[in-house]
Structure 1
Amino acid sequence: MNVAHFIVPVLLLSVVYAKDEPKFLGTESNVTVVVGRDAILTCKVENLQSYKVAWLRVDTQTILTIGPHVITKNHRVGVSRGDQSWSLTLRDVRPADGGRYMCQINTEPMITQTHHLHVFVPPDIMDSDSSGEVIVREGDNVSLHCAASGTPPPTVLWRREDSAVFKVDKETVSKWSGVWLNMTSVTRDMNGAHLCIATNGVPPSVSKRILLHVLCKPTARLTQKMLGAYIGETVILQCRIEANPPPIVYWTHIDGNKLYNGTKYEMNINSQGYKHTAILRVKNMSRDDIGSYYCYAENSMGTARDDITVYTLATTSTTTTTTEVTTTPEQVTTTPVQAYAELEVKNHEETNHFSDEDSFVVVLSQHQMQNLDLSPSS
């Protein structure tokens, strides 16, 4: 036999044999799926012939499928075959399913292709490791903590629920990033709800409401220092109070005795956070009701008070007259008198601006001032 004739068929057989060997099409893949959804990993094989494709979990060396059969007892695992493709399905993916999966063909030697499954988990805030309600005295430092989990690791953003600014390390900000919110020398206006918001690009973002209670001693301020009213009217006094814990509020008149709700007085208070508005209504004003009223606010941090003076208003008028003088034909007419206000302030022990003989002060009209006899007494 011709040697050349023998070598050529052998070479041709070798080429055909190499061409018919199974091989993978495409490259290794990275598959990302959100927890709870289904994941599909696919490897494509050319010239599989009678060889079999198997899927394995790399980290545990667990055989999941061989050919069209599921080997593992995990009911969430499935396998399907398409045009030159073998797909591994993982239903209802869990965080523990993340990792490397190997597609293997039982050739000699064996050939493999590895695929990576990444399981994304929405953010979650761990209540047990995060701050709850926090109580701090005004002027002290405070640290709030927000522990969040998720894949990829979430970022934490802080802001006030009312969108107000706050101070961090002497810097005034409207928001702050980080798992810790460190505030120095807290003030009463920092009292309220703070939100920590965790996000990692996987919806939904989550937030936790952390209440900060800043304890502060009361301040009290009446909206006016003096108030005039006509006899028979109802007078409304408003006292602005800042205090936390919420204060005990009461009112007193000149004698220092507390006032109580009834036919004469009506008291109520409206609160929003550490700010409070105390209202006193004095009904059917009389001369006995003039004088100073005190608003008191007390809590465990201290006491505060402020006062307002109430006086009565009265209007009087003098009739214009005409006087005839017999010695001349002229008529002499008095100057018209305008209405005036009578300022009456009741004396009391703590404010004695007037002598014991003076019970009120009268503001005279222009006419009365002109006709007042100011000549020195003899």
Structure 2
Amino acid sequence: MLVHLIILSTALAAANTGKHGGVEVPEFGEPITNLTVPIGRDATFECIVVNLGNFRVGWVKADTKAIQAIHEHVITHNPRVSVSHSDHSTWYLHIKNVQEEDRGQYMCQINTDPMKSQMGFLDVVIPPDFVPEETSGDTMVPEGGTARVSCKARGVPPPRVMWKREDGMEIVVRDQTGAKSKVLTYQGEVLKLTKISRSEMGTYLCIAGNGVPPTVSKRIHISVHFHPVIQVPNQLVGAPLGTDVTIECYVESSPKSINYWVKDPGELIIPSEHHVMSVRQKSMFEAEMTMTIKNIRREDLGSYICVAKNSLGDVESKIRLYEIPGNDRHAYQYPDVRATSDDEYGNNAYDEDDEDIDSMKSNRVPDRANKWYSNDGKVTVMTATGASSTITTTTTIFLCLIKSLL
């Protein structure tokens, strides 16, 4: 059909001129430029002809031999195809909303005898996209197990896939021998994390690109599950009566645990103005649980248990709260002994003879006695000659001394 149309056009041109010879032969002014167009955009081929005269220009899709247009008339039934020209020298083939099937060779023809033609190639590129049925979703794995996540991407040209952690931390990968290495990015559609630890838990980004914008990414969260663990920085906490004290436990668990406090032997503590509780999430699997006991009373002394429970088990740890004597501080004036500041207590001299004058002492524990207690039971004694010596006493002996002062 194409040949017949070209012959017909040639015959018409010859009829119009009345001769086959003596006519300037048309030529192509320059080669057709190849086009690379993203899918959905518009493409326009340009064919420049010199001395066209009464000859005709046609457009053909070479790989399918489908005639697109002859001169100013569109032949194809594709509504996205149109033609135009400028001064009968520059001829255009327009393809709107380019689709993948439009890729191929396009021929610009002049109906001379023999026919003259030149071709240009239309390459349709497609930005990357993920294949949903071959791309992983969020994954859960026990600690020490293997997490395998994949991202299958399509596009033209074929996209490359890389992985990185959303938090910017390094990815831990192991080869077949078990050798471990850390990388900021990992290339490949499949990411395999063996002997996974809790520190590898987090969101991983799968990124696909092929040079055709936009680059696409997918967030895949890897959860590492493990039994709760509690760390207690201070298992023995002392405070004077009437003050506030805060006890704390550090919890690691995944999935997140239910955290609460119990007063030994098993009394659940309810948050109140007296017991102020908080849980601060430090990371995906780390939490700091604290409880502040306001205005400590004697009945508050004893053991407290912090408990953490999740679906994999539970754990608890004990903290003992004891009284530090001498909360009610005031300056006790010893007879014939100068008053000293807190900064001087560490080197203060105490006259043994003053122990015999109980009637002159206050009925409260002297502040300096508290300093002695906090100095590991070491009492500095001033002798009659003015020399000082250090006597190491046990807590029991010192408490007896305190009682004698009351």
1:308 to 319, 328, 331: 319
Q: Which amino acid aligns with 2:323?
A: T
- Is the 1:312–1:343 Cα contact (8 Å) retained in structure 2? no
**How far did residue 321 of structure 1 move?**
2.5
1:49 to 41, 50, 53: 53
- Is the 2:36–2:123 Cα contact (8 Å) retained in structure 1? yes
Which SS does the other structure have where 1:338 is aligned? helix
Tell me which residue corresponds to 1:214. 224
Which SS does the other structure have where 1:139 is aligned? coil
Paired residues for 1:90-109 under 5 Å: 90-109=95-114
In 1: Cα distance, 2:191 partner to 2:26 partner = 59
Q: From the superposition, tell whether residues 232 and 142 of structure 1 become closer, same or farther in structure 2 (CA, over 3 Å).
A: same
Tell me which residue corresponds to 2:63. 59
1:247 to 244, 254, 257: 257
**Structure 2 regions of 5+ residues with no counterpart?**
1-19, 175-179, 338-350, 356-365, 383-389, 398-406
Q: Which moved more, 1:264-273 or 1:288-297?
A: 264-273
Q: From the superposition, tell whether residues 41 and 18 of structure 1 become closer, same or farther in structure 2 (CA, over 3 Å).
A: farther
**How far did residue 246 of structure 1 move?**
1.1
Tell me which residue corresponds to 1:124. 129
Paired residues for 1:153-302 under 5 Å: 153-169=158-174, 170-271=180-281, 272-302=283-313
In 1: Cα distance, 2:254 partner to 2:37 partner = 49
In 2: Cα distance, 1:286 partner to 1:122 partner = 70
**How far did residue 163 of structure 1 move?**
0.7
Bigger strand share: 1
TM-score (norm 2): 0.74
In 1: Cα distance, 2:142 partner to 2:352 partner = 76
CA deviation profile, 1:148-167 (whole Å, cap 9, x unmatched): 22222222221111111121
Which SS does the other structure have where 1:340 is aligned? helix
Q: Which amino acid aligns with 1:111?
A: K
Q: From the superposition, tell whether residues 194 and 268 of structure 1 become closer, same or farther in structure 2 (CA, over 3 Å).
A: same
1:138 aligns with 2:143: yes
Which SS does the other structure have where 1:298 is aligned? strand
In 2: Cα distance, 1:322 partner to 1:211 partner = 74
In 2: Cα distance, 1:19 partner to 1:343 partner = 123
In 2: Cα distance, 1:196 partner to 1:332 partner = 78
In 2: Cα distance, 1:143 partner to 1:79 partner = 53
- Is the 1:291–1:309 Cα contact (8 Å) retained in structure 2? yes
**How far did residue 223 of structure 1 move?**
3.0
Q: From the superposition, tell whether residues 300 and 46 of structure 1 become closer, same or farther in structure 2 (CA, over 3 Å).
A: same
Tell me which residue corresponds to 1:321. 335
In 2: Cα distance, 1:17 partner to 1:307 partner = 111
In 2: Cα distance, 1:371 partner to 1:167 partner = 55
CA deviation profile, 1:11-44 (whole Å, cap 9, x unmatched): xxxxx95983333232343111222222111122
Which SS does the other structure have where 2:133 is aligned? helix
- Is the 2:224–2:254 Cα contact (8 Å) retained in structure 1? yes
In 2: Cα distance, 1:107 partner to 1:307 partner = 100
Q: Which amino acid aligns with 1:77?
A: V
Tell me which residue corresponds to 1:27. 31
**Structure 1 regions of 5+ residues with no counterpart?**
1-15, 324-330, 345-361
**How far did residue 305 of structure 1 move?**
2.5
Q: Which amino acid aligns with 1:190?
A: E
In 1: Cα distance, 2:322 partner to 2:40 partner = 74
Q: From the superposition, tell whether residues 340 and 367 of structure 1 become closer, same or farther in structure 2 (CA, over 3 Å).
A: farther
Superposed CA RMSD:
3.1
- Is the 2:166–2:205 Cα contact (8 Å) retained in structure 1? yes
Q: Which amino acid aligns with 2:81?
A: V
Q: From the superposition, tell whether residues 341 and 282 of structure 1 become closer, same or farther in structure 2 (CA, over 3 Å).
A: farther
CA deviation profile, 1:59-115 (whole Å, cap 9, x unmatched): 332211110111222222111112522111112222332221111222333232111
Q: From the superposition, tell whether residues 89 and 222 of structure 1 become closer, same or farther in structure 2 (CA, over 3 Å).
A: same
Q: From the superposition, tell whether residues 32 and 222 of structure 1 become closer, same or farther in structure 2 (CA, over 3 Å).
A: same
Paired residues for 1:331-346 under 5 Å: 334=354, 338-340=368-370
TM-score (norm 1): 0.79
**How far did residue 310 of structure 1 move?**
2.1
CA deviation profile, 1:146-188 (whole Å, cap 9, x unmatched): 1222222222221111111121122111211111111111111
The alignment covers a number of residue pairs equal to: 334
Bigger helix share: 2
Q: From the superposition, tell whether residues 25 and 277 of structure 1 become closer, same or farther in structure 2 (CA, over 3 Å).
A: same
Q: From the superposition, tell whether residues 371 and 212 of structure 1 become closer, same or farther in structure 2 (CA, over 3 Å).
A: closer
Tell me which residue corresponds to 1:114. 119
